[in-house]
Structure 1
Amino acid sequence: MSDLCLYCGNPIKEVISWKGFFYSEPQYLCEDCQKGLQAIEGKRCSCCSRSLEKLPEELMKGGVCLDCFRWEQNPKWTGILQHNTSLFEYNDFLKEYLARYKYRGDHMLAKVFRFQLATCLKNNNYDHIIPIPLSEERQYERGFNQSAALLEEAQILHSHLLSRSHSEKQSKKSRRDRLQQKQIFTLIEKDFNGQSILLFDDIYTTGTTLRHAAKLLKEAGAEQVTSFTLARG
């Protein structure tokens, strides 16, 4: 009997190959749903991973997107976040997928990304990989931290070294509100002197959340802070 797609429930057709005789990574999505995950390919912003393939010239500046150029022109934020790497486009399919995962408690959907995340993050030289935390209220409401759960499913060691104050959901804030938000994080550990830190989150949208976390870590002595997200919005 065929396995069923974790997302749509349709049978998964097994693809037979010579490689599969020796090792086969389990498939969790059917062929149609797998096509919904669009990897970021081609030319991308060196700061945030945004695809530059179809971006108008007026929204680019010196090989980076205009958003990142503006972040780096602001003395308060220059060099705070070294760069971000994202795997997938935040298209309609992934938007609905992550909404079901985060807000409807379908924890099993994290399995789909275990191989990609393990491949990208297992052999790393970071002192800490820190998932972006939820506030206590939001964690209670959802039942789990979606970013930490993705790392756990991929068996990536990570550290809970940040806490977060409660605020309105990021998804309900306008772009302007996100960019103007006050510091929402506090450090659980105070000394990161000379350390290399990787922040992990599910989506990079404006980069505000990641930069606020990175700023605290840099102020606590971190030598460099980079980030990795599943999707680039």
Structure 2
Amino acid sequence: MVHAFVAPFRSKLETLPYDFLTSIPLSEERLYERGFNQAEALIKEAGVTPSTLLQRTHSEKQSKKSRQDRIHHEQVFQLKAGIDIIGKRILIVDDIYTTGSTLRHAGKVLRKAGAKTVCSITLARG
């Protein structure tokens, strides 16, 4: 399925300035269940090597939460140890944008760690 989106995704990436391209990480449990990270797969299929900047703690699936719960959930991201993003432009890839909460939480961690800018690109809006 990811193949259908690669060409337009690659074209869009060519227009966006970034120092690091990363995906919204899955928790280890979710990655085990699913077998792959769909946002990371899209980046790789576009011929780019993603940077692994964040790690995520396990939490209930976003799809199981109400809109209100998604907006008010606790921070689940941390910057991986040894990562220096001070003054860098970060582009985050995610598969589905629903409330924007996931991207806001990831962006908050990256900005706090010194990123110059944090932008995102998503495949679909739910």
TM-score, structure 2 length as denominator?
A: 0.94
Structure 1 alignment gaps of length 5 or more? 1-108
Matched, 1:183 2:75: yes
Q: Distance in 2 between matches of 1:178 and 1:204?
A: 11
Which structure ranks higher in relative contact order (CA pairs < 8 Å, sequence separation ≥ 6)?
A: 2
- Residues of 1 paired with 2:75 and 2:44: CA distance? 27
**Alignment deviations for residues 93-139 of structure 1 (CA, whole Å, 9 cap, x no partner):** xxxxxxxxxxxxxxxx1111110111111354201011000000000
Amino acid of the structure 2 residue aligned with 1:197: I
Q: CA RMSD in A?
A: 1.1
Structure 2 residue 34 is the aligned partner of structure 1 residue 142: yes
Query: Is the Cα–Cα contact under 8 Å of residues 113 and 154 in structure 1 kept in the other structure?
Result: no
Select the residue among 1, 9, 14 that pairs with 1:122: 14
Whether the 8 Å CA contact 1:139–1:145 is kept in 2: the answer is: yes
Are the equivalent residues in 2 in contact too, given 1:190–1:220 (CA < 8 A)?
A: no
Query: Could you tell me how far 1:191 is from its partner in structure 2?
Result: 2.7
**Moved >3 Å (runs of 4+):** none
Which of residues 88, 91, 112 in structure 1 aligns to 2:4? Answer: 112
Structure number with bigger Rg: 1
In structure 2, what is the Cα distance between the partners aligned to 1:132 and 1:184?
Answer: 11
The aligned residue for residue 195 of structure 1 is 88
- Tell me how many residue pairs correspond in the alignment: 125
Report the CA distance between 1:177 and its aligned residue: 0.5
Q: Which amino acid aligns with 1:212?
A: H
Q: 1:224 maps to what in 2?
A: 117
Give the residue type in structure 1 aligned to 2:31: Q
The answer for unaligned runs of 5 or more in structure 2 is none
Aligned residue for 1:171?
A: 63
Partner AA of 1:165 in structure 2: T
Q: In structure 2, give the amino acid aligned to 1:230.
A: L
Aligned AA (1:217): L
Identical aligned pairs, as a percentage? 55
Q: Of 145, 159, 170, which aligns to 2:51?
A: 159
